[in-house]
């Protein structure tokens, strides 16, 4: 019997977990959102915005790529929260089928090398992703940086992209897919993340807090959704607590006559309304939990993972 024609052969299906790792603020969450084509991870200009392990699922005819967004690996981990974030990232790297090492175009810092060293130790294949290439001026500076990067580790491939401008993302998807094992999809085709809408609501509130308070207390905040209710007509009611560490921080979040808190709540509610495609009622309180970021028990109670 003759072999089937190429067009009659079934396309091999690939699937697997792909951890995005690197130092803080290289654009991991922006890249996850761009590849998933939906916001599953919050984004701000502040390093260490991502605190949790979050899956973003990319479905293609020949592959399902389960992206694992992780906190940025950092060396200055004095607080319990920072140590937990490093552990979360390290575990995701160790468990992935493939790791993406993200760097910022033409910019190499000591924390980049520390992150690369940590990723290499787990022995998984690594694709280097050079992000933010739209900011490289003149563009000719990129080639020597790529050549030098290639000498730092035996990367399976090096792909320059701009997550923000969606540059070269199709090629990145093809490269990732080619390095994943053959296998069936790991999640239903319609699923885009492993996180609940309740979790995403808390993250959206924290994003708006970070954007509004970036110069005052970007890291001393956590958000806990205490109630998430869906009415028969689809309207969503959310009650959330903003935890701060000290009394002075509470006053900063609330602002004069409560105006800052109202503004943050309004921004969060509007984004949640767009995301959920339904009217949203959002109620926020600010409470004090002293030194929660240094307390492992408090971190667990606030939903931070420490597996």
> Could you give the domains of the chain?
6-178 (3.40.50.300), 197-301 (3.30.300.20)
Question: What confidence tier does 123 reach under pLDDT thresholds 50, 70, 90?
Answer: very high
Over 50: is that where the pLDDT of 5 sits? Answer: no
Residue with tokens 């990319």: 58
pLDDT in tens, 184-243: 999 999 999 999 999 999 999 999 999 998 777 657 799 999 999 999 999 999 999 999
Say how many residues make up the chain.
307
- According to DSSP, residue 182 is labeled B
> Is residue 85 within 8 Å of residue 249, measured between CB atoms?
no
Q: Quick one: pLDDT at residue 296?
A: 85
Q: What's the mean pLDDT when you consider all of the chain?
A: 91
Whole-prediction pTM value? 0.91
Res 297: pLDDT: 85
Residue 6 banded pLDDT, cuts 50, 70, 90: very low
What's the pLDDT tens digit per position in 95-117? Answer: 999 999 999 999 999 999 999 99
- The 3-state DSSP class for residue 238 equals strand
Provide φ and ψ at 162, rounded to 5°: -130, 105
Residue 258 banded pLDDT, cuts 50, 70, 90: very high
> pLDDT higher for 34 or 293?
34
Structure confidence at residue 306 (pLDDT): 52
- Segment 275-279 mean pLDDT: 96
Over the stretch 49-65, which tens digit does the pLDDT of each residue have? Answer: 888 899 999 999 999 99
- HSE of 60 in the Cβ direction (CA atoms, 13 Å)? 23
CB 68 within 8 A of CB 84: no
Asked whether the predicted pLDDT for residue 4 surpasses 50, the reply is no
Whether the Cβ atoms of residue 293 and residue 237 lie closer than 8 Å to each other: no
- Tokens (6 digits) for 59: 């479905």
Q: Give the residue with greater pLDDT, 306 vs 14.
A: 14
């Amino acid at each position: 019997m003759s072999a089937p024609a190429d067009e009659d052969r079934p396309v091999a299906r690939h699937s697997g977990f792909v951890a995005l790792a690197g130092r803080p603020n290289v654009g991991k969450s922006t890249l996850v959102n761009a590849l998933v084509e939906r916001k599953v991870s919050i984004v701000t200009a502040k390093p260490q915005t991502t605190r949790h392990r979050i899956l973003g699922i990319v479905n293609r005819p020949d592959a399902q790529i389960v992206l694992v967004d992780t906190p940025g690996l950092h060396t200055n981990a004095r607080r319990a929260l920072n140590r937990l974030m490093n552990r979360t990232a390290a575990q995701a790297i160790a468990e992935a089928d493939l790791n993406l090492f993200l760097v910022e175009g033409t910019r190499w810092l000591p924390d980049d090398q520390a992150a690369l060293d940590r990723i290499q130790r787990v022995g998984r294949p690594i694709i280097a992703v050079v992000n933010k290439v739209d900011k490289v001026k003149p563009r000719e500076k990129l080639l020597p940086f790529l050549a030098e990067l290639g000498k730092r580790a035996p990367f399976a491939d090096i792909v320059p992209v701009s997550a923000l401008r969606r540059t070269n993302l199709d090629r990145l998807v093809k490269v990732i897919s080619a390095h994943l094992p053959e296998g069936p999809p790991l999640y239903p085709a319609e699923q885009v993340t492993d996180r609940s809408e309740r979790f995403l609501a808390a993250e959206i509130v924290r994003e708006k807090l970070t954007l509004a308070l970036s110069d005052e207390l970007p890291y001393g905040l956590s958000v806990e959704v205490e109630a998430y209710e869906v009415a028969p007509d689809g309207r969503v009611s959310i009650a959330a607590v903003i935890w701060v560490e000290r009394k002075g921080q509470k006053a900063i979040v609330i602002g004069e006559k409560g105006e800052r808190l109202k503004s943050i709540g309004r921004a969060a509610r509007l984004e949640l309304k767009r995301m959920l495609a339904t009217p949203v009622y959002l109620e926020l309180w600010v409470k004090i939990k002293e030194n929660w970021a240094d307390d492992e028990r408090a971190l667990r109670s606030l939903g931070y993972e420490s597996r």
